[in-house]
């Protein structure tokens, strides 16, 4: 019968390996160690344990992912005769090969048994004297990201086995914590006579001289950070909405603050348009505040919270990008059509018109018109040539002139709307954003009008008292000077 037994070697002291794990190694005909670079190995040899080690994969593979994959495949290939695979510490703690082996074994119907020993993390709890029930984060120095760090929990970072890894770890930590934050470098945790705990400021981490494969870094709970994160914003908003919070914030509802999100989005757009980086940071923060504000109200109502909001958009992005997160492949030219098809299926829409009706009425009119036309174009309802669009613009312009001549106000409004809609079509064919185009012209008008006022003042004239002909002269001058 095919079977894989995975055992933990403990943190490194012979007293900390479990009896079950030791017996399994002693009684095995085929024992394999992930690495023989472990303090207990000499004692195992003394106990008469014969084994093979897989250190060779660390020399032949080009990445840790490839190493772990090759080791997992090797162990599974030995399952027919029964194999005992030994890893440092506890098999379930920071041991990537175990999860890979478990997955392969499940696929192939191979029996799997795991026999634990004390983990190096348990040894660190004991050595550092902290209670894990207060919360901690366990990270791998070779793959963690700074956003995974937490100021309200202790942080243990494993595999800080060299100065190079320590330097990279330091830089990631310094993105999150103050440069002089106190940390601990822990070596050989749980190994009598070899254990070391060295306290130092974060900026000195890569100056430490004793790095090896049994070195970890510990950042205590409540460490000071350079920046506050989204979780801090959630806490602040919760406080503002509490009974001891701000009266204004407390009385707000989804409807009362909905206009704020729109205003903040426009202010962000202005900052982007002006290449104002500091403004972008501030305005993005204001937009994020609105998301957190609505999420806090939703949480209080028992309807939803920020995690559910984030989960929803994560799932949507993964679903709508099967060419990135799945196996689908298609050309860039067909991407938007497939995107619309997925949105239609996602929303349960059976007709194109349902999609058109779903476009918010509160959008700026030019943007909404552009979206409506684009959706219709995806199913082939569109002009074939741009000449046809020009012809339509001229036709709608003439109808506006005729409506004006007839003096029918309602008719004028309708025909003017048709003209604007045809202009949006033209912009779409020319690949120009009509909203940005009109905003650009409006800004140009403001600059030129400002020029007229300034020049009039230089001439000692009040613009309100100038004739149209006088202002036209300055307008032409503005065009030459400002473009």
When mean pLDDT is compared across 21-30, 231-240, 294-303, 361-370, the lowest value belongs to 361-370
Q: Is the pLDDT of residue 100 over 70?
A: yes
pLDDT band at 196 (very low <50, low <70, confident <90, very high): very high
For residue 217, list its beta bridge partners. 157, 185
When mean pLDDT is compared across 106-115, 165-174, 232-241, 456-465, the lowest value belongs to 456-465
pLDDT band at 438 (very low <50, low <70, confident <90, very high): very high
Are 48 and 26 a contacting pair, CB within 8 Å?
A: yes
For residue 187, list its beta bridge partners. 196, 215
Tens digits of per-residue pLDDT, 31-80? 999 999 999 999 999 988 999 999 999 889 888 899 999 999 999 999 99
- Residue 69's nearest CA partner among 100, 40, 95, 38 is 100
Query: Taking the mean position of all CA atoms in its chain, how far away is CA 321?
Result: 15
Q: How many residues comprise the chain? A: 483
- Residue 153's nearest CA partner among 233, 225, 89 is 225
Between CA 208 and CA 44, with CA 214 as vertex, the angle to 5 degrees is: 145
When mean pLDDT is compared across 159-163, 295-299, 340-344, the lowest value belongs to 340-344
* 167-182: burial string, b at 16+ Cβ within 10 Å, e else: eebbebbbebbeeebe
Tokens at 245, concatenated: 């919070």
pLDDT at site 333: 64
pLDDT band at 349 (very low <50, low <70, confident <90, very high): confident
pLDDT band at 280 (very low <50, low <70, confident <90, very high): very high
Q: Left, alpha or beta for 275 (phi > 0: left; psi -120 to 50: alpha)?
A: left
Instruction: Enter the CATH code of domain 3-118.
Output: 3.40.1010.10
pLDDT band at 322 (very low <50, low <70, confident <90, very high): confident
Q: CATH topology for 122-219?
A: 3.30.950
189-217: average pLDDT: 93
Cα distance between residue 118 and residue 345, in whole Å: 50
Cα distance between residue 165 and residue 180, in whole Å: 19
Percentage with pLDDT > 90 across the chain: 67
242-267: average pLDDT: 94
Q: Is the pLDDT of residue 335 over 90?
A: no
**Residue the block writes with tokens 């479990």:** 18
**Residue the block writes with tokens 């009385």:** 251
Cα distance between residue 451 and residue 330, in whole Å: 52
Are 37 and 159 a contacting pair, CB within 8 Å?
A: no
**Residue the block writes with tokens 């008292």:** 465
pLDDT at site 152: 76
Instruction: Enter the CATH code of domain 230-320.
Output: 1.10.287.1080
């Amino acid at each position: 019968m095919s079977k894989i037994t995975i055992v933990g070697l403990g943190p490194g002291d012979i007293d900390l390996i479990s009896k079950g794990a030791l017996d399994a190694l002693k009684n095995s005909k085929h024992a394999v160690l992930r690495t023989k670079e472990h303090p207990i190995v000499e004692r195992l040899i003394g106990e008469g344990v014969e084994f093979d080690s897989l250190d060779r994969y660390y020399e032949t593979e080009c990445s840790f992912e490839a190493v772990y994959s090759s080791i997992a495949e090797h162990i599974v290939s030995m399952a027919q005769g029964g194999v005992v695979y030994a890893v440092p510490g506890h098999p379930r703690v920071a041991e990537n090969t175990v999860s890979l082996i478990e997955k392969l074994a499940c696929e192939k119907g191979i029996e799997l048994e795991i026999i634990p020993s004390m983990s190096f993390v348990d040894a660190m709890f004991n050595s550092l004297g902290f209670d894990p029930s207060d919360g901690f984060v366990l990270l791998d120095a070779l793959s963690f990201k700074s956003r995974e760090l937490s100021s309200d929990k202790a942080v243990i970072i494993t595999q800080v086995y060299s100065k190079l890894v320590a330097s990279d770890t330091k830089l990631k930590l310094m993105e999150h914590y103050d440069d002089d934050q106190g940390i601990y470098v822990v070596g050989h945790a749980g190994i009598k006579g070899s254990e070391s705990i060295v306290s130092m400021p974060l900026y000195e981490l890569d100056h430490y001289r004793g790095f090896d494969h049994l070195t970890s870094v510990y950042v205590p709970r409540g460490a000071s950070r350079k920046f506050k994160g989204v979780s801090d914003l959630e806490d602040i908003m919760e406080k503002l909405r509490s009974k001891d919070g701000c009266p204004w914030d407390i009385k707000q509802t989804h409807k009362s603050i909905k206009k704020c999100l729109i205003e903040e989005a426009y202010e962000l757009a202005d900052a982007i348009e002006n290449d104002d980086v500091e403004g972008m940071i501030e305005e993005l923060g204001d937009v994020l505040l609105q998301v957190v504000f609505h999420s806090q109200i939703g949480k209080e109502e028992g309807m939803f919270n920020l995690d559910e909001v984030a989960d929803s958009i994560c799932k949507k992005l993964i679903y709508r990008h099967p060419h990135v997160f799945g196996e689908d492949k298609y050309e860039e030219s067909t991407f938007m059509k497939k995107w619309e098809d997925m949105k239609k299926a996602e929303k349960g829409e059976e007709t194109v018109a349902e999609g058109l009706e779903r476009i918010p009425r509160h959008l700026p009119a030019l943007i909404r018109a552009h979206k409506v036309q684009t959706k219709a174009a995806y199913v082939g309802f569109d002009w074939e040539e741009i000449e046809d669009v020009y012809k339509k613009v001229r036709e709608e312009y003439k109808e506006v002139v005729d409506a004006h001549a007839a003096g029918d106000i309602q008719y004028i409004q309708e025909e003017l709307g048709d003209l604007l809609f045809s202009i949006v079509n033209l912009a779409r064919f020319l690949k120009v954003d009509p909203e940005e185009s009109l905003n650009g012209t409006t800004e140009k008008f403001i600059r030129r009008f400002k020029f007229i006022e300034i020049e009039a003042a230089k001439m000692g004239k009040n613009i309100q008292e100038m004739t149209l002909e006088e202002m036209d002269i300055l307008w032409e001058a503005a065009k030459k000077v400002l473009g």
